[in-house]
Chains A and B, each alone.
Chain A
Amino acid sequence: MSSDLPRLRLGAALGALLLALGAPTPAAPSAPVPAVRGKVFLTMEEALELAFPGCEVERDKQFLSKAERARAEELAGCELESSIAYVYSATREGKPIGTAYFDAHRVRTKRETVMIVVAPDATIQRLEILAFAEPLDYLPGGGWYAQYLGKRLDDDLSLKRGIRGITGATLTAQATTRAARRVLAVHQVLGER
């Protein structure tokens, strides 16, 4: 066994790895694909362009009354961060494509900012992580976030039902699920006006 892994070979590998740490960073890909390069993956503008290519996007500010906020919180099952909703409605040739909302929330001690696009049928059409200030070890990988697509505001949108948790990133999973519920709840309340 020891002959398989001679000391010098592994020592050299360690040296090479340490040297590689200082190598220049390769150019970032041009496509706006989230990458593990730090905390900010996409700006708001980039995220909207990614979600609504070729669409007209109208920004609107909506102030929730106390009663509306209370109703949204009841629907979401958690508190809203604010009574102001920033609504980005996308249309193509006059036809509604989706409505984007942004939600910034604390994960452990730092923030995660997500964009959630609600489809005309009130399901989640897209979820993008725009910024993640916690160590990236707490950012779920793989296709974990894809679980939210197609979910609507019901009991299935929960870590105990339709969203599967992830060991080691439990707080991120909870924070993201709460954000999804908040967004769908606000969208519903605004639609009830």
Chain B
Amino acid sequence: MTRSLLARPAVGLVTTASLLLGAPLASANGEEPPEEPKQDRTVLERVEALEQENKELKAGRAEDQARIEQLEGQVDVLGDEFEQISFRDIVPVIGDSYYGLGLGASKVYSLDQPGISIGGYGEMLYENFNGSTTDEIDFLRAVVYVGYKFNDDWVFNSEIEFEHASTDKGGSASVEFATLDRLINDAINARAGLLLNPMGFVNELHEPTAYLTATRSITETRIIPSTWRENGAGVYGEAGGVSYRAYVMNGLDAMGFTAQGLRGGRQKGSQALADDFALVVRGDWVGTPGLIVGGSVYMGDSGQGQMGLGATGTSIYEVHAEYRAGGVWARALAAMAELDDVAQLNAALGNTGAQSVGEELEGAYVEVGYDLLSLFDADSESSLSPYVRFETFDTQAAVPAGFSSDPLNDDEILTLGVNYQPISQIAIKLDYQDWDRGTDRWSLQLGYVF
């Protein structure tokens, strides 16, 4: 349309020029001039034709201008409506114009509100053991997160986990957590339901992309059981650069404790014995970007009123730190647990000699990885991080008189590996673990999160 508009005056000018110049040129060429009255009529007709054409051109231009203005208005409206759609969460849609937007409206329109949130993660693990231990490849976890926001005050969140791919072959389907949150403000919020125990790194952040190595540490498996979830309620929040969680939850079941650790004591929210409750409190300094420093304490009885058991007081303490900056990702964690009435527990379990549950358990690890790709491409979403972890643990650091410790429960592990993330939601990890006493192994993990 713009092109034709521009072309019209040009055509007119050419026509005008040829009409006005045509006669003198013909005369100059020596042709016989037409009779004057006829020439006058011809010129007059041509001028009239030109005037008519000019009038039509002006009318056409006015019409085109009106159409352009109309189109500009439509584009403007479309642009405004596109902004409303793009920023639907934050743009009020009713009211007088202000910054081009609604001023009077207090209602915030959002297509996402309220709504369901869905996510998930999973991991496949291949372990190749030295010696006679049978190698294994296992689709260890497939997890679905489902959350629902009822309104601004109430939110539900859950994690449903399928372990080992099939219940036919020893796998399980479990609710890892299912919580109702009452959101109040930054400093304090309330949470109840099947809670993740907040101790350590892995309990709350166990997606494959949230830790460097192919397998979780022993410290965060046997001393701080993971994934550790129990029924309860508590508060959480953040103020002044400190985040915290404080939950009351059902205690562990001491009848599940072994010489290898406390992992079997988890009741997982399933028909849990509830004679004994426990308190767990965690605090972290999060005021410095890239740095987390904190600790947590768990205190409660694990006897659950069961025949033959004492209170079996159980205390677990841990401190941890994480640092992420540039290509560096480093973590350290130390944990210890103390149990009471272990001799009584051993008797109830029928443990003798080195089968004793530990009265004291301790473990610690330090790990560090470095993303080599950060050296070359700052914008790349991919990462390639060689890592090393050193861990020491002893699940029978102390045992009651009359019992002994199994040396295999006091071990050190050096892990060397590489973590490759083609995109940040997919991790492929390969590492080799050198156990001081236990079985060395290769581990290959494929993990994803969405």
| Set of chain B residues within 8 Å of A38, measured between Cβ atoms | 113, 149, 151-153, 155, 183
Contact partners of B80 in chain A: CB under 8 A: 61
For A, the interface residue count at a CB cutoff of 8 angstroms equals 75
A21 to B234: give the CA distance in the assembly, Å. Answer: 9
Q: Kindly identify, within residues 2 to 40 of chain A, every residue whose CB is under 8 Å from any CB belonging to chain B.
A: 2, 4-5, 7, 10-11, 13-14, 17-18, 20-22, 25-26, 28-29, 35-40
In the complex, A193 has a CB within 8 A of chain B: no
Known contacts being A168-B204, A170-B424, is A82 close to B210, with CB within 8 Å? no
B131 within 8 A of A: no
Range, interface on chain B: 35 or more
Residue in A closest to B328 when the chains form the complex, CB atoms: A164
B431 on the interface (CB 8 Å rule)? no
Nearest-neighbour CB distance to chain B for A32, whole angstroms, equals 12
Contact B315 A1 (CB under 8 A): yes
Q: Are B233 and A18 in contact (CB under 8 A)?
A: yes
Contact B118 A109 (CB under 8 A): yes
A142 interfacial contact with B, CB 8 Å: yes
Q: Which residues of B contact A137 (CB under 8 A)?
A: 157
- With A2-B311, A141-B238, A142-B238: A84-B183 Cβ-Cβ less than 8 Å: no
Whether the Cβ atoms of A171 and B424 lie closer than 8 Å is yes
A147 touching B289, Cβ below 8 Å: yes
In the bound complex, what is the Cα–Cα distance between A103 and B201 (angstroms)? Answer: 32
Task: For B189, give the chain A residue with the smallest CB separation.
Answer: A36
* A116 contacts chain B at the CB level, 8 A cutoff: no
Interface assignment of A183: CB less than 8 Å from any CB of chain B: no
Name the A residues within 8 Å of B313 (CB-CB): 1-2
- Segment with Cβ contacts to A, from B14-22, B63-71, B94-102: B94-102
A179–B151 Cα distance when bound, in Å, is 27
Whether a CB of chain A sits under 8 angstroms from the CB of B174 is no
The answer to the question of B358 belonging to the interface, with a C-beta cut-off of 8 Å to chain A, is no
Q: In this complex, which of A7, A113, A171 has the most chain B Cβ atoms within 10 angstroms of its Cβ?
A: A7
Determine if B128 is an interface residue (Cβ-Cβ < 8 Å): no
A104 x B450 contact (CB < 8 A): no
B interface footprint on A138-161 (CB within 8 Å = 1, 0 otherwise) = 000111101100000001101011
A48 proximity list for chain B (CB < 8 A): 99
Q: Which of B46-54, B85-93, B361-369 makes up part of the contact surface?
A: B85-93
CA distance A155 to B375 in the complex (A): 11
Shortest A163–chain B CB gap in Å is 8
- A45 near B101 with CB under 8 A, answer yes
| In the complex, chain A residues whose CB is within 8 Å of the CB of B152 | 37-40
* A-B pairs with beta carbons under 8 A, tally: 229
B277 contacts A170, C-beta separation under 8 Å: no
Contacting pair B340 A1 (CB below 8 A): yes
A13 and B248 form a contact (CB under 8 A)? yes
- Interface assignment of A188: CB less than 8 Å from any CB of chain B: no
Contact flags A50-87 to B (C-beta < 8 A → 1, else 0): 00000001010101000000000000011001101010
Q: Is the CB of B89 within 8 A of A36?
A: no
Query: Is B354 on the interface with A (CB-CB < 8 A)?
Result: no
**From A13, A136, A141, A158, contact of B286 by CB (8 A):** A141
* Chain A residues whose CB sits within 8 angstroms of the CB of B275 once the complex forms: 7
Q: Using Cβ atoms and an 8 Å threshold, which residues of chain B touch A42?
A: 90
A9 and B115 CA atoms in complex are apart in Å by 38
Interface: B327 (CB within 8 A): yes
- Given the known interface contacts A35-B186, A43-B108, A102-B90, the answer about A109 and B450 at a Cβ–Cβ threshold of 8 Å is yes
A160 touches B380 (CB 8 A): yes
Least CB distance from A3 to B in Å reads 8
Q: List 9 A-B contacts (CB under 8 A).
A: A18-B233, A21-B190, A36-B185, A38-B153, A61-B83, A109-B117, A135-B147, A160-B371, A166-B289
